[in-house]
Chain A
Amino acid sequence: MPETLPANSVGLVTPQTLQFNEPLNLQGGKVLPSYELIYETYGQLNAQSSNAVLICHALSGHHHAAGYNSMDDKKPGWWDSCIGPGKPIDTNHFFVVCLNNLGGCNGSTGPVSINPETGKLYGPDFPIVTVKDWVQSQACLADKLGIKQWAAIIGGSLGGMQALQWSIDFPDRVRHAVIIASTSKLTAQNIAFNEVARKAITSDPHFYEGRFYEHNTIPKKGLMLARMVGHITYLSDASMGEKFGRETRNKAFGFNFDAEFEVEKYLNYQGERFSENFDANTYLLMTRALDYFDPAADFDGSLEQAFRKCLSKFLVISFSTDWRFSPERSEKIVDAMVEAGKDVSYAEIDAPHGHDAFLIPTPRYTELFTAYMEKVARECQGGSQ
């Protein structure tokens, strides 16, 4: 709990919820008749509504990106390092919006919401949503907030995919897209890791085909395992080595299978904490959205063609030790943007933290990100162009 709020914090924030009654046609063919989106905002929207920035969250993220919801919060929002006064996404200049995506479990309509048709929780009946669907719903949110065009849409990992999809689906509504530690499609290895995670959940005896709520239980072990596997892919060999090495809890081996190594203890703790706070059906949905993402598929497999009609400028950032979405994957995106003749800048940040580096404010990352966003802010002052 912070005794006083740091000067460069957006401070105390209260999430808001908007109800949408226009049906949303989903990529999978189903229709969501109505839904709610929960979001937070930081900073002030200017008179021309030209300084709005959308933050898209990653797999287990949510709408609480910065600041504190109460003075009792132990930690600020998940991207507090980058959002706030004087930070790369400077709330002195920008009006920042971050929402919880559809299918999430933090307040937007998802598996843990009531299905109006049955009066019960959606659970496994919640339709599978895709990155494209999220972008559609985010556009509806933008409409309600009076934002015709975003100064920038920014996201890391799965969030970066949403920023990409926005620039393709709504070319005239995005001035800048910042795509961090992301990819234009998952590899077989990425999908394989997702499948292991899903199998861990669905094979948990407490999963009950996704209807575990009705049995007053959760597939805790499965969700824990899923998170443990995922978590390994977010870190690098070097960062795990540095953090845990081969440290053990006791000097002598116990010659049993309890968690003896520090890394085991850490993974178990992370998995346990996650399983208590995250919904198993949401985890399944989010990993599927990752698997399905491939904007080139609508353009005969050509990413260059996908970018042809984009009007936004791009900043693409990768991290040297990210093996989940490696620098090569970002370079593929950049090459296609160059072929399509788009404005793009690209940097590979040397950072030891693996995929998670996008959440860690290393000096070079912060400087580059700040330099780019300062340019975006200067454009906002000149009106909407």
Chain B
Amino acid sequence: MRVDLEIIQDWIAPGSRVLDVGCGDGTLMQHLQKHKQVTGYGLEINSSLITQCVRNGVNVIEQDLDSKGLGNFKDNSFDVVVMTQALQALRQPDLMLDEMLRLGKECIITFPNFGHWSCRYYLTRKGRMPMSKSLPYTWYNTPNIHLCTFKDFEALCHQKDIYILNRTVVDRDHRHRWFNKMWPNLLGEIAIYRVSH
């Protein structure tokens, strides 16, 4: 099992009502339904991923987050709102964060760390926009239009009075490494945050 799924699963109480924003093929929701008896929905825009969700037995709602936002959901309608690896691809990630916290008591967010040493090295040595296995795009075709570092994210949370309940850092294969914990913003590739108001 992917470690990030395991970590997220540990942070979700059994029977929770969950909204997975940008749910992909529904792997996480399927996993949570099976192991945590959660109910809820995934939101997705990609048509083949939507079909995959249906195949996986996950409630999926087609929704363009950039144009529609989350305005169709009521305040506090979920226990947990999850967003994995999608924040950096949104047009207004800061407003999305507010919206997610409007819907859910807690939010779990994962995103790639642009402050990782390999990105810093790439930019410093080559003078080019970093590319790696976890960021395999060129600057002009990347969907990741709002990349940030862990420090950036935490500064945003601070500014918005958002509490960081947990933070775990993993590598791109979602493994824990001892050194990730020591210098997360330098050595961590992907962060998993649990936040609330």
A residues with a Cβ closer than 8 A to B are 315, 331, 334-335, 338-339, 341, 343-350, 364, 367-368, 371-372, 374-375
Residue of A nearest to B60 (CB): A345
Check A348–B51 contact: CB distance below 8 A.
no
Say yes or no: is B98 at the interface (Cβ < 8 Å to chain A). no
Residue of chain B at shortest CB distance from A331: B72
Whether A368 lies near B54 (C-beta < 8 A) is yes
Contact partners of B38 in chain A: CB under 8 A = none
Q: Kindly report which residue of chain A lies nearest to residue B47, judged by CB atoms.
A: A364
CB <8 Å contact, B61 and A345: yes
Closest to A372 in B: B54
**A349–B74 CA distance with the chains assembled, in angstroms:** 25
Task: Classify the interface of chain A: helix, strand, loop or mixed.
Answer: helix
Kindly provide the distance from the CB of B75 to the nearest chain A CB, expressed in whole angstroms.
12
Residues of B within 8 A of A335 (CB): 72
Contact call B55/A344, Cβ cutoff below 8 A: no
> For residue B73, which residues in chain A have a CB less than 8 angstroms away from its CB?
338
Seed contacts A347-B47, A348-B62; 13 additional CB < 8 Å A-B pairs: A334-B61, A335-B72, A338-B72, A344-B59, A345-B50, A345-B54, A345-B58, A345-B61, A347-B62, A349-B47, A364-B47, A368-B47, A371-B52
Q: What are 12 sample pairs from A and B whose C-beta atoms fall under 8 A apart?
A: A334-B61, A341-B17, A344-B59, A345-B58, A345-B60, A346-B60, A346-B61, A347-B62, A348-B62, A349-B47, A371-B51, A372-B54
With contacts A338-B41, A368-B50, A371-B54 known, is A343 near B59, CB below 8 A?
Answer: yes
Q: Does B77 contact A (CB under 8 A)?
A: yes
CB neighbours (8 Å) of A334 from chain B are 61
Q: Taking CB as reference atom, which chain B residue is nearest A379?
A: B57
Check B41 against A374 for contact (C-beta < 8 Å): no
Pair B61/A375 contact, Cβ less than 8 Å: no
Nearest Cβ on chain A to B29's Cβ, whole angstroms: 11
A-B contacts, CB under 8 A, total? 52
Out of B58, B59, B77, which one reaches A339, CB within 8 Å? Answer: B77
> Is residue B108 within 8 Å, beta carbon to beta carbon, of the partner chain?
no
Nearest residue, chain A, Cβ from B68: A331
Range for the number of chain B residues in contact with chain A? 20 to 34
B70 to chain A, nearest CB (A): 11
Which residues on the A side are within 8 Å of B72 (C-beta)?
Answer: 331, 335, 338
Given the contacts A338-B41, A339-B77, A364-B47, A371 and B55 also touching, CB distance less than 8 Å? yes
Is A344 a contact partner of B61 (Cβ separation < 8 A)?
yes
**Chain B residues with Cβ under 8 A from A364's Cβ?**
47, 51
**Which residues of the other chain, A, contact B41 by a CB distance below 8 angstroms?**
338, 344
Contacts of B74 in A (CB 8 A): 339
> Please, how many angstroms separate the alpha-carbon atoms of A346 and B72 in the complex?
14
Query: Which chain B residues border A368 with CB–CB below 8 Å?
Result: 47, 50-51, 54
| Smallest beta-carbon distance B27→chain A, Å | 16
A345 pairs with B55, CB closer than 8 A: no
Is there contact, CB below 8 Å, between B55 and A375? yes
Q: A350 to B59, alpha carbons, bound, how many Å?
A: 20
On chain B, the residues within 8 Å of A349 by CB distance are: 47
Would you call A374 and B55 a contact (CB within 8 A)? yes
By Cβ-Cβ distance, the 4 closest A-B pairs, closest first, are: A371-B54, A371-B55, A346-B61, A347-B62
Tell me whether A346 and B62 are in contact (CB under 8 A): yes
* B59/A345 in contact, CB under 8 A: yes
A275 to B28 Cα, complex, angstroms: 54
Closest-by-CB residue of B relative to A315 is B54
Whether B39 lies near A341 (C-beta < 8 A) is yes
Interface hub of B54, B58, B72 (most chain A Cβ within 10 A): B54
B53 within 8 A of A: yes
Complex: how many Å from CA A349 to CA B48? 11
- Please name the residue on chain B nearest to A363 by beta carbon: B47
A346 to B62, CA, bound (A): 6
Q: Could you tell me the distance between the alpha carbons of A350 and B41 in the complex, rounded to whole angstroms? A: 22
Q: How far apart are A90's CB and chain B's nearest CB, in angstroms? A: 15
Contact B39 A375 (CB under 8 A): no
Q: Which residues of B contact A348 (CB under 8 A)?
A: 62
In the complex, what residues of B have CB within 8 A of residue A371's CB?
51-52, 54-55
**A-facing mask of B12-42, CB < 8 A → 1, else 0?**
0000010000000000000000000001010
Interface centre among B52, B53, B60, B62, by most A CB within 10 Å?
B62
Query: A341: which B residues are within 8 A, CB to CB?
Result: 17, 39
